[in-house]
């Protein structure tokens, strides 16, 4: 491929990546919709089991039919991959549990606090430096959470706790994936996450499983394959588009959560929740902008 051809195709790759990013966050929301609906009659651990089990299928097809045996090879970080799978399984269960107890939009916004935890964890585990801009964004973001907690006292205490717990684990996973990114293939990390997650949640199945009805069966498949599709689209997006641009599309999940919550459960966020959501999103955008500036400055120095 000539240099001119490569330059001509770059905008097409970025457009493909942007489309994949939009699709990924839409499918993540669809997965959570299925999980919330199923949680009325099924344990969230059972739902997580089906999600992990069915998400294994595309990877097994890639490995055993299309010959991508390299996905099975762990290069150097088996303990980190196992830790990612264990923590990821707990985070998934907490996420489904939070959605089962609270409206879609409120839960989606609370999960965005993961980005607020990341700078703090980066200091602890990666010895990163965090300046006044990001510290201010973190404090403002948690102020937004405080606004969402409804001073009137109508607080989903358990739901909020579950969502914040899931967000903290997602932040830990983000830091862990930064560490794994330079050592292991993303397909390998995802494959072992689904396999180990299936095993972990499967151990509880004899105690929590309930036979799905004929109506629920498509939703069981839906929660698994929508999660797998979301992971694949997200990887495709990161492959073709800068991570900072992919991250922008993450905010579309709040819109989808509002739409699905209104259409299915007649839940529309109150003015207080919308105000708190705006504060949390703004703080996330400030953190993303600041990190992009710091990355550009670092590349310039190099």
Instruction: Kindly indicate the confidence band of residue 154, based on its pLDDT and cuts at 50, 70 and 90.
Output: low
The predicted-structure confidence for 131-151, as pLDDT tens digits, reads as follows 677 778 778 888 888 787 765
**∠ Cα 213 218 221 (to 5°):** 115
- The two tokens of residue 75 are 């290069």
Mean pLDDT of the chain: 83
Rounded distance, CA 137 to CA 144, Å? Answer: 11
Residue 142: closest CA among 162, 160, 154: 160
Q: Which residues of 136-162 are buried (b: 16+ CB within 10 A; e: fewer)?
A: ebbebbbebbebbbbeeeeebeebbeb
CB contact at 8 A, 140 and 75: no
Give the SS3 label for residue 233. helix
Give tens-digit pLDDT for 239-274: 777 766 677 777 888 889 999 999 999 988 888 888
Q: Using alpha carbons, list the distances in angstroms from residue 147 to 88, 257, 275.
A: 28, 19, 7
Residue 230 has pLDDT above 70, yes or no: yes
Q: Are the CB atoms for 31 and 226 separated by under 8 Å?
A: yes
| Percentage above 70 pLDDT, the chain | 83
User: In the prediction, which pLDDT does 281 show?
Assistant: 81
Q: Is 284 exposed, middle or buried (0-12, 13-18, 19+ CB in 10 A)?
A: buried
């Amino acid at each position: 491929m000539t240099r001119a051809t490569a330059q001509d195709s770059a905008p097409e790759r970025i457009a493909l990546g942007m489309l994949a990013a939009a699709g990924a966050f839409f499918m993540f929301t669809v997965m959570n919709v299925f999980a919330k609906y199923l949680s009325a009659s099924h344990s969230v651990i059972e739902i997580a089991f089906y999600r992990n089990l069915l998400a294994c299928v595309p990877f097994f097809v890639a490995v055993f039919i299309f010959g991508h045996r390299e996905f099975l090879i762990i290069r150097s970080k088996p303990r980190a991959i196992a830790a990612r799978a264990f923590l990821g399984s707990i985070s998934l269960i907490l996420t489904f549990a939070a959605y089962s107890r609270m409206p879609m939009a409120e839960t989606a916004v609370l999960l965005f606090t993961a980005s607020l935890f990341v700078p703090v964890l980066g200091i602890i585990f990666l010895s990163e430096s965090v300046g006044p801009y990001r510290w201010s964004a973190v404090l403002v973001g948690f102020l937004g959470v405080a606004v969402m907690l409804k001073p009137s006292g109508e607080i989903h205490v358990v739901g909020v706790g579950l969502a914040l717990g899931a967000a903290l684990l997602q932040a830990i996973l983000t830091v862990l994936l930064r560490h794994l990114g330079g050592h292991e293939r993303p397909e390998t990390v995802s494959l072992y996450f689904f396999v180990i997650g299936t095993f972990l949640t499967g151990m509880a199945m004899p105690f929590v499983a309930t036979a799905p009805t004929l109506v629920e069966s498509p939703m069981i498949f839906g929660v698994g394959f929508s999660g797998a599709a979301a992971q694949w689209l997200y990887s495709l997006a990161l492959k073709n588009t800068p991570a900072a641009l992919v991250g922008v599309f993450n905010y579309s999940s709040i819109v989808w959560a509002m739409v699905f919550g209104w259409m299915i459960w007649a839940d529309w966020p109150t003015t207080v929740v919308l105000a708190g959501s705006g504060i949390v999103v703004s703080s996330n955008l400030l953190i993303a902008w600041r990190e992009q500036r710091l990355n550009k400055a670092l590349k310039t120095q190099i």
